Every structure is written in structure tokens, then in C-alpha cells.
């Protein structure tokens, strides 16, 4: 069960095409990732997974809430209808969204910007959607799309990122490579070349990550400074800082995923190379691998130091607005998570270095 991501969609009936797109993407991703060790997506479908509860005295939304069980990811979608009110909320979608936040679930919310026919416009429904959108804008939780193709590309990208994140949280690099009996025999030089190429990609990932941090100062300089005699200008300035941090958090996740993926594949390849071909490696190849490992240990040490300085710097930002508090918290949380991942990777590199030295004795 730990390797399954259960997905629940909260949305009115006017976005059924989007539901079908999500279902198609999940089916395709499950086929694509089958046998790779990546998480499987399990879509909770209300019609299929929620039993009827006639005569219980519960309203429809309460039946859904009580029967969907646990899930990992909530996907919300709104277009022209906000939905049917419940006993406690303006709509079932709103209630499901707030339940997901309270339970600490992963949340992705999407707002459609598809055109609406004039005779289908309900001003009250649109007003509720706009108010809801404004309410959650501080959370930095939503995306917008202008076509179903754009939605498909957006949701597929976000689900892939989630799958990669979950995969990288699993202790996969520590596992010894297990040869499958039916797999093709691998050559030493191709495996070593693939390993070194992954480590080269890591260097690019690290540079892009550093550039991302360095771009912050320039972004902040482009914000109009607050006026000392105007409190409102401080609020505007603080929320602008929050917007930058929220955007950075999204970019940071992408860069972090690339870094961890290349490191995981590189270390797996390194361990596999040592296990299969350690005794056959000549001294030049051994020295090349040793130099690569030592270089990456140093890169990780430098990256860790830089991230520590970034945390110290941005932790000092005054909590002037709720939006800024949440953005800063999310930003720092992302960096601290990467620090933990880097600590584990660095330990594995040291372990690989020891195994490389030991393999020369055979």
C-alpha cells in the first residue's frame, strides 16, 4: 500500500471532461511505470467506490466524506459552477478541499479559463468561484488552464513530479542491485559510462539550483519598495515577496527532482558497477570513478552550506502578512527536505568510495 498514491477528485459535473483526462493519464502512467518501482496511482471514483446510504439521514456530501476512505492527493477543479451547497459549506468541492487541507493531504487545484456561452453564465456561481479563488490564492495551491490540451499537459506534469518525489523518498539507492534472471547481460563500459553521465547531469542540476537561489536578489530588487508612511504599501510589498517565494518553491521542486533522480540513478549504477565488475576495473577507470565521487561529495558539501545560508537569510524575513508567512514556511520546508536528501546521498557516496577501495583488493 505504501507504493500507491490514492487520488480523489473534487469537482462539479461541468468539468467531467477533465475527470476523464485525469483517468486516462493515470491509466497510461500506471502502464508506463509498471515494474519500475515507481508508485501506482489509484483513482477513487465516487460512483464506483462510494456506497449508497439511503435512510441514514446523511446528506449526499456526508455520505461521500464518510465512504471515500483515506487518500493521498486531492485534485480540485472549477469552471463555471461552484457546486451544490452542503450543510456547512458553499459547495461540496469547497468542503472536500478544506477537508484535504485539514488532513494534511497533497492538494492540486485547477481553475478553467475556457470560454462560457452567455446563456450558461450564472453570475452568482461565478462570483462564488471568484471569491473562493481569492481565498486560496494566499496558499499558492492552484493552477489555471485555457484549453483541455493545456490541462492535460499540466496535470500529467504535476502527477509525474509527485511520482518522482515519492520515489525519491523511498530508500531505493541503499538497495543492492538485484539482477533479474531474464535481463540482458550488461557490459562494464556501458554501465560505467551511463553512471558517469548521470553524475555529469548532477553537476548541471546543481548549477541550475544555485542560479535559482542567486536570481532571488534580482527578483526582489524589481519590487517597488514600501513607503514608510503607508502601511498598505508594506502589505503590497510583503505579498509581492510571497509571490516570488511561491513561484520559486514550484521551480525549486522541479530542479530538486532532477537532482535527486540523477543522483539516485548514478549511485545505483555505481554500486551495480562495483558489484558486477569491480575486480575487472583497471586503475585508470578506478581513479576516474574515485575522482567523480570525491567531486560530488564536495559539491554536496557546498550545496548544503549554501542552503543553510539561504535558510538563515530568509528565516529573518518579518512575518508581515499571512501570505508571506505561508510562502516563507513552504520555501524553507522545501530546502530542509532537500538537505535531508543530500545528507543521505552524501553518506551513500562515502559508502561507494569505501566499496571502490575494497573492490581493488579482489
| Contact indicator for 331, 216 with CB cutoff of 8 Å | no
Mean pLDDT estimate for the chain: 77
Q: What residues form DSSP beta bridges with 42?
A: 6
pLDDT tens-digit map of 118-174? 899 999 999 999 999 988 876 556 889 999 999 998 898 788 777 777 765 554 443
Among 90-104, 151-165, 289-303, 320-334, the range with the most confident prediction by mean pLDDT is 90-104
At residue 37 the predicted structure's pLDDT band, cuts being 50, 70 and 90, is: low
Q: Is 297 helix (H, G, I), strand (E, B) or coil?
A: helix
pLDDT tens-digit map of 226-255? 777 777 887 888 888 888 888 777 777 777
Q: How many helices (H) and strands (E) does the chain have?
A: 10, 5
Q: Is 182 helix (H, G, I), strand (E, B) or coil?
A: coil
**pLDDT at 35 > cutoff 70:** no
Average of per-residue pLDDT across 46-56: 43
- For residue 115, the model assigns a pLDDT of 93
User: Closest Cα to residue 84, out of 158, 3, 14, 187?
Assistant: 14
User: Closest Cα to residue 143, out of 262, 246, 6?
Assistant: 246
Q: Is 307 helix (H, G, I), strand (E, B) or coil?
A: helix
- For residue 172, the model assigns a pLDDT of 44
Q: What is the pTM of this model?
A: 0.47
116-125 burial, b if ≥16 CB within 10 A, otherwise e? eeeeeeeeeb
Among 96-110, 158-172, 285-299, 346-360, the range with the most confident prediction by mean pLDDT is 96-110
User: Closest Cα to residue 292, out of 273, 276, 307?
Assistant: 273
Higher pLDDT among residues 223 and 81, named by residue = 81
Average of per-residue pLDDT across 98-105: 86
- For residue 15, the model assigns a pLDDT of 94
**Percentage of the chain lying above the pLDDT 90 cut:** 17
Q: Please give the angle made by the CA atoms of 60, 66 and 68, to the nearest 5 degrees.
A: 95
Which has the minimum average pLDDT: 52-56, 149-153, 221-225?
52-56
Higher pLDDT among residues 35 and 351, named by residue = 351
Contacts of 13 (CB under 8 A, 6+ apart): 81
Amino acid at each position: 500500500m505504501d507504493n500507491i498514491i490514492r487520488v480523489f477528485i473534487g469537482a462539479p459535473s461541468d468539468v467531467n471532461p477533465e475527470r476523464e483526462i485525469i483517468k486516462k493519464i493515470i491509466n497510461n502512467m500506471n502502464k508506463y511505470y509498471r515494474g519500475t518501482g515507481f508508485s501506482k496511482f489509484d483513482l477513487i471514483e465516487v460512483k464506483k467506490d462510494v456506497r449508497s446510504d439511503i435512510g441514514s439521514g446523511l446528506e449526499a456530501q456526508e455520505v461521500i466524506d464518510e465512504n471515500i476512505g483515506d487518500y493521498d492527493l486531492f485534485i480540485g477543479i472549477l469552471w463555471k459552477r461552484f457546486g451544490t451547497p452542503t450543510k456547512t459549506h458553499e459547495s461540496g468541492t469547497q468542503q472536500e478541499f478544506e477537508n484535504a487541507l485539514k488532513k494534511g493531504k497533497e492538494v492540486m487545484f485547477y481553475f478553467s479559463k475556457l470560454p462560457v456561452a452567455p446563456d450558461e453564465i450564472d453570475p452568482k456561481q461565478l462570483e462564488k468561484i471568484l471569491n473562493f479563488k481569492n481565498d486560496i490564492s494566499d496558499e499558492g495551491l492552484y493552477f489555471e488552464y485555457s484549453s483541455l490540451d493545456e490541462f492535460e499537459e499540466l496535470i500529467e506534469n504535476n502527477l509525474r513530479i509527485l511520482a518522482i518525489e515519492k520515489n525519491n523518498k523511498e530508500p531505493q539507492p541503499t538497495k543492492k542491485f538485484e539482477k533479474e534472471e531474464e535481463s540482458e547481460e550488461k557490459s562494464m563500459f556501458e554501465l560505467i559510462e551511463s553512471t558517469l553521465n548521470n553524475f555529469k547531469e548532477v553537476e548541471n542540476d546543481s548549477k541550475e539550483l544555485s542560479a535559482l537561489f542567486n536570481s532571488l536578489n534580482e527578483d526582489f530588487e524589481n519590487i517597488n519598495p514600501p513607503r514608510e508612511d503607508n502601511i498598505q504599501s508594506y502589505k503590497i510589498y510583503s505579498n509581492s515577496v510571497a509571490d516570488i517565494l511561491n513561484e520559486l518553491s514550484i521551480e525549486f521542486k522541479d530542479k530538486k527532482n532532477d537532482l535527486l533522480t540523477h543522483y539516485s540513478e548514478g549511485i545505483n549504477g555505481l554500486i551495480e558497477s562495483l558489484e558486477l565488475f569491480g575486480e575487472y576495473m583497471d586503475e585508470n577507470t578506478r581513479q576516474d570513478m574515485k575522482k567523480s565521487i570525491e567531486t560530488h561529495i564536495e559539491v554536496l558539501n557546498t550545496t548544503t552550506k549554501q542552503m543553510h545560508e539561504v535558510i538563515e537569510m530568509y528565516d529573518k524575513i518579518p512575518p508581515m502578512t499571512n501570505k508571506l508567512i505561508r510562502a516563507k514556511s513552504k520555501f524553507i520546508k522545501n530546502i530542509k527536505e532537500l538537505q535531508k536528501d543530500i545528507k543521505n546521498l552524501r553518506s551513500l557516496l562515502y559508502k561507494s568510495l569505501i566499496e571502490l577501495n575494497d573492490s581493488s583488493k579482489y
